[in-house]
Amino acid sequence: MGPVQYVYLAVAVIIALIGLARGYEKELGNSIIFMITIALLGFIEARYEAQIASFAGRIFGVNNAATFLFLLYSLVFVLVVFSSYSGVTFNYGGTPLKGFGGQLLSLLVGIFNGYLIAGTLWHYANKFGYPLTGVTQLAPTQANALNYLPQTIFPDTLFWVVPAAILLIMRVRG
């Protein structure tokens, strides 16, 4: 397989372009959902991962427990991402910025969402040893990129709740 970072970079770029097309007023609603999901998955990881791994080991075998956990976390996150993009999301009403400023803000929020999505998926792939890809060793640039994933920069799950709460309050207050 080619360099891993290009796969996740491609995902991030696609999400950034979707953000540019949808506009920041819709993308900020998705940002809230993604940050809350990252916090909830982090909470489950910290408190219940050993029990889930033990259960998966009994059912699927010890060797497949990591694959099960990778699929579990990744599929839950992907389902949340898919649901948030396909359903009704928090829309920041009012008059959106017009022209270059609005497009730039939409692109920046799209880049942030792309970072959250691609970074979270890469986090789980790395954490569980890239179980479905056949990657055995990372190149130095790939290993360095792991230092900048969302869960690496802010490992405390409470961090993700604070900006999500601020954005939600901004949405409610109008």
Q: Where are the domains of the chain?
A: 4-46+77-173
The candidate with the shortest Cα–Cα distance to 12, out of 130, 153, 149, is 149
- Indicate if the pLDDT at residue 173 is higher than 70: no
- Indicate if the pLDDT at residue 168 is higher than 80: yes
pTM for the model: 0.90
**DSSP per-residue string spanning 67-121:** HHHHHHHHHHHHHHHHHHHHS------S-PPPHHHHHHHHHHHHHHHHHHHHHHH
Cα separations in angstroms, 10 against 6, 79, 119? 6, 19, 11
> 111-134: per-residue pLDDT in tens?
999 999 999 999 999 999 888 777
- Indicate if the pLDDT at residue 39 is higher than 80: yes
